[in-house]
Amino acid sequence: MATTKTKTKAKKTPAGTMMVKRYDGRRVRQPEALAFLMKQHREVEALFDSFEASEDDAEKTRLVDQICLALAVHAKIEEELLYPEAEEKIDEPDMVDEAYVEHATAKDLIAQLEGMKVGDPYYDAKVTVLGEYIAHHVKEEETELFPEIKRADMDLVDIGKKLEARAEQLKAELGDPDSAGAKSKIKADASAGAHL
Ligand SMILES: [Fe+2]
Ligand SMILES: [Fe+2]
C-alpha cells in the first residue's frame, strides 16, 4: 500500500526538547519554546529566499503578505510570552531591550510594506532590507539571547505550548487572506509597536 509508513526508530529525545535547524544550518537540540521559535525563523527565511528568486509580481505579492503575517505573529508571541519573563530572569536583560528595539524597526518596515504594492519605488529594496535585518536579529537571538534563556530558570516546555497556541490564534485573527482588512490589521498591529 502506498500509504504504508516505514516505522522509524523512536528518537531518543530528552523530554521537552526537539531537534531543530539553527541559523547556520546545523541541527541542534533545543527546549520546546526555542525550537518552536527557531522553526518559525527558518520558515520566514525560506519566504525571503523565495521572494529574492521570484520574478512574478503576483507571487511576490503573495510572498510579502506571508512574510508580513509570519513576522507580525512571531514578534507578537515573543513579546507577549518570552521577552518579559526573559527580561526578569536572564543575567543580561539589556539583550531583551535590544531585541525589542530591533522588533520595532522591523515593524516599521512591515507597516510601510503593507501600505505599498509590488512595483512601487523601493518596494523590492524594502523587502531585501527587511530580510537582512531579520537575518541579523535572528542570528543574535540564536547565538546570544536564546542561550541565555536556556540557562535561566524558565519553564520552556510550558512557554512552548503557550507560544504555539497563541501563534495559531493570531494567525487566524490577523491572517485570513480572504477577510477584508487582514492587511490593515497587520499594519495597525505593526504600527502600534513601531516606535517605542
Ligand atoms: Fe525576535
Ligand atoms: Fe525570533
- Say what the pTM is: 0.88
In tens, the pLDDT along 25-76 reads 999 999 999 999 999 999 999 999 999 999 999 999 999 999 999 999 999 9
Q: How far is the CA of 138 from the centre of ligand 1 (A)?
A: 7
Tell me the pLDDT tens digit for each residue of 130-189: 999 999 999 999 999 999 999 999 999 999 999 999 999 999 998 865 555 667 677 777
- Sequence letter at residue 41: H
Q: How far is the CA of 182 from the centre of ligand 2 (A)?
A: 22
How far is ligand 1, taken at its centre, from the CA of residue 150, in Å? 15
Q: Count Cα neighbours of 108 within 13 Å in the Cβ-side half-sphere.
A: 11
Centre of ligand 1 to C-alpha 134, Å, is 8
Task: Report the candidate in 38, 32, 49 with the shortest Cα–Cα distance to residue 138.
Answer: 38
Q: Is the pLDDT of residue 78 over 50?
A: yes
Higher local confidence (pLDDT), 116 or 192: 116
What is the CA(4)–ligand 2 centre distance, in A? 37
SS3 186: helix
pLDDT at 193: 57
Asked if residues 163 and 81 have their Cβ atoms less than 8 Å apart, the reply is yes
According to the model, what pLDDT value does residue 1 have?
47
